[in-house]
């Protein structure tokens, strides 16, 4: 009997909606996939499925590349307490949300705001019992490198990579998927909000690019649909997919589609962060 192995790749390289996609990006994607495939032993007897999901800094990098000004009004309020989230389900989702907000603040060099979200992430990981990756040492490193953007990017990406590795190795796949889902929801919320408000075609293209990631996420969540909360969330994401499917020229979407996607993802996000 063949066994199916799942590999999730976060797109650490950036495919900008505001710049042309260069050949080396495609080559890097192929290399990453090839490296992951090579890690699966006895491939003749096993099936390997590879999924890509956006990395914590991808959407924020795209937004800034489109020369849009920084605004904190769409982020989770800095006075929002993590004690408002009574279940591990909500804490894991909000861990992903806070990662995107931290990345957005970091990309725009809003240092104190980024530190706030890092502190928030630290508290959430403590309450989830996974504090090993985002701890006092991580906060110290972030503060020590506060004037070095490249170092901050590395710390963020490395910390989230270590987090997902820890969750995978400790059989906490469900929690890992919720963190990824929270990241996706916040990223699409930000990009679709900017697209709706700015009417910028480049931002609408960025939103359209999220269709592939959404499909991957829904497929991954299928394995956890026996959990009531996840099943309900998956159904909301499936409904969101319908808004992407109205167009035929992916990743290009219409202004009407962008507005509809923004409305739906805002409703999904509200249930997570409220």
Quote the CA–CA distance of 187 and 201 in Å, as a whole number.
17
Nearest to 126 by CA among 165, 177, 163: 163
Mean pLDDT along residues 235-253: 82
Q: How confident is the model at residue 248 (pLDDT cuts 50, 70, 90)?
A: low
Domain parsing of the chain, residue ranges = 56-273
Query: Cβ distance 94 to 124 under 8 Å?
Result: yes
For residue 170 the two structure tokens come to 């400790």
Residue 38 has pLDDT above 50, yes or no: no
Identify the pLDDT of residue 53. Answer: 72
Quote the CA–CA distance of 264 and 248 in Å, as a whole number.
20
Query: For the segment 126-155, what is each residue's pLDDT rounded down to a tens digit?
Result: 999 987 778 888 889 999 999 999 999 999
List Cβ neighbours of 91 (8 Å cut-off, separation of 6 or more). Answer: 82, 85, 124, 127, 128
Q: How far apart, in Å, are the Cα atoms of 151 and each of 58, 102, 157, 158, 183?
A: 16, 14, 10, 10, 21
Q: How confident is the model at residue 40 (pLDDT cuts 50, 70, 90)?
A: very low
């Amino acid at each position: 009997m063949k066994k199916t192995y799942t590999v999730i790749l976060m797109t650490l390289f950036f495919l900008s909606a505001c710049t042309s996609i260069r050949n080396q990006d495609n080559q890097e994607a192929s290399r990453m996939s090839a490296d992951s495939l090579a890690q699966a032993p006895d491939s003749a007897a096993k099936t390997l499925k590879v999924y890509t999901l956006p990395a914590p800094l991808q959407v924020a990098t795209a937004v800034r590349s489109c020369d849009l000004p920084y605004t904190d009004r769409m982020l989770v309020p800095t006075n929002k307490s993590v004690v408002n989230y009574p279940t591990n389900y909500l804490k894991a989702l909000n861990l992903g949300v806070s990662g995107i907000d931290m990345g957005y603040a970091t990309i725009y060099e809003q240092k104190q705001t980024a530190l706030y979200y890092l502190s928030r992430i630290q508290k959430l990981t403590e309450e989830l019992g996974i504090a090993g990756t985002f701890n006092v040492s991580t906060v110290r490193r972030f503060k020590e490198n506060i004037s070095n953007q490249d170092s901050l990017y590395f710390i963020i990406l490395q910390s989230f990579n270590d987090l997902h590795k820890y969750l995978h190795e400790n059989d906490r796949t469900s929690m890992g998927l919720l963190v990824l889902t929270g990241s996706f929801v916040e990223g699409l919320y930000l990009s679709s909000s900017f697209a709706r408000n700015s009417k910028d075609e480049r931002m609408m293209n960025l939103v359209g690019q999220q269709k592939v990631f959404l499909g991957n996420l829904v497929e991954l969540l299928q394995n956890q649909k026996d959990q009531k909360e996840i099943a309900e969330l998956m159904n909301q994401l499936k409904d969101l997919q319908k808004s992407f499917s109205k167009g035929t020229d992916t990743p290009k979407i219409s202004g009407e589609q962008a507005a509809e996607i923004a409305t739906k993802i805002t409703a999904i996000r509200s249930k997570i962060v409220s």
